[in-house]
Amino acid sequence: MKVSIFTVDAFTDHPFSGNPAAVVPLLQPLQEELMQKLAGEMNLSETAYVSPVGEEAAKEEPWVRCSRFSLRWFSPTTEVPLCGHATLATAHVLFNELGNCRTHVEFETLSGVLVARKDSDNIVLDFPANTPVPLTPHQDTQLGPLLRVATDGLQVQQMMLSHTTKKLLVRLHHSCTRKHLENLRIDSGSFLNLHDGSLVKGIIYTLHGGLHVSNAQITAPDSPQYHCLSRYFAPWNGIPEDPVTGSTHTVLGPYWSKELGITTLKCRQCSPRGGDLLVTVRGDGRVDLAGRATTIIQGYLTLTPPIKSG
- Known catalytic residues are 46
Amino acid identity, position 68: R
Distance, in Å, from the CA atom of 206 to the CA atom of 229, rounded to the nearest integer, reads 5
Distance, in Å, from the CA atom of 34 to the CA atom of 303, rounded to the nearest integer, reads 9
If we measure between CA atoms, which residue out of 82, 86, 122 comes closest to residue 104? 122
If we measure between CA atoms, which residue out of 125, 95, 151 comes closest to residue 249? 125
Distance, in Å, from the CA atom of 30 to the CA atom of 288, rounded to the nearest integer, reads 31
If we measure between CA atoms, which residue out of 247, 251, 259, 165 comes closest to residue 209? 259
If we measure between CA atoms, which residue out of 90, 77, 83 comes closest to residue 36? 77
Distance, in Å, from the CA atom of 53 to the CA atom of 68, rounded to the nearest integer, reads 6
